[in-house]
Structure 1
């Protein structure tokens, strides 16, 4: 039987807030009744503007630190969807803002959780207009 997943309005509001530059990352989860809700959002603490005058190694270290903070905040035994906003070096040697969709599904997650998160991933990404 196909899994029906409902995306709550708060997800769209959180995504719009992040797109406006207000959040470093947003974590979404699927509830027991198959609704995707916004679980948490980290306020922006590092942006392209912060890179002015910084050495490339320092910028990369800051982005890596933010990534580690995010990963350590996620559950060990359940899935999550995350939009992670960071600073990225471009081919022309300038820094720009980037945002990536993260599909968090640890191997310790139970089979039902894995099925539900996998089933909802493409629908959720499409709803948020992410690639």
Structure 2
């Protein structure tokens, strides 16, 4: 599975410049390549990310999560989300699962990984819990 250069470029902009709050990636099966599907502005919310994930197709996403620690420190962590809803095609789930590790290696700086088949598995509470 090839990774489109735009994926790495946008991820670097999210990580270094904080130009985006999230990025949604899609595998284009016709050309066997991971592409950028959608980016969220720095003001975008986690809910905007979750609502942009289709309920019947797999996606990858990264989310820059800002939070305050128990010691009152402002921090952020970059989450990688592997979205594979139960309603998606088996072939698609297999393709995303088999490509995930290689794709993740292309995005240097991911701190937390979440796998979700249902919105409840990636709720904001779960993200907060994994960030701390």
- Whether these two folds match at TM > 0.5 is yes
TM-score interval, normalised by the smaller of the two chains? 0.7 to 0.9
Gaps of 5+ in 1: 47-65
Tell me the equivalent position of 1:30. 27
How far 1:91 moved relative to its partner?
Answer: 3.6
Residue matched to 1:112: 91
Per-residue Cα deviation, 1:28-83 (whole angstroms, up to 9, x for no partner): 0000232001111011017xxxxxxxxxxxxxxxxxxx222211111111111111
**How high is the TM-score relative to the length of structure 2?**
0.76
Q: What is the RMSD of the two structures over their aligned residues, measured on CA atoms?
A: 1.3
Structure 2 gaps of 5+ residues are 112-132
The residue correspondences of 1:1-131 to structure 2 (distance < 5 A) are 5-19=1-15, 20-32=17-29, 33-45=31-43, 66-129=45-108, 130-131=110-111
TM-score using structure 1 length: 0.77
Shift of 1:86: 1.8
The runs of 4+ residues in structure 1 deviating greater than 4 Å are none
d(CA) in 2 for partners of 1:121 and 1:81? 8
Aligned residues: 108
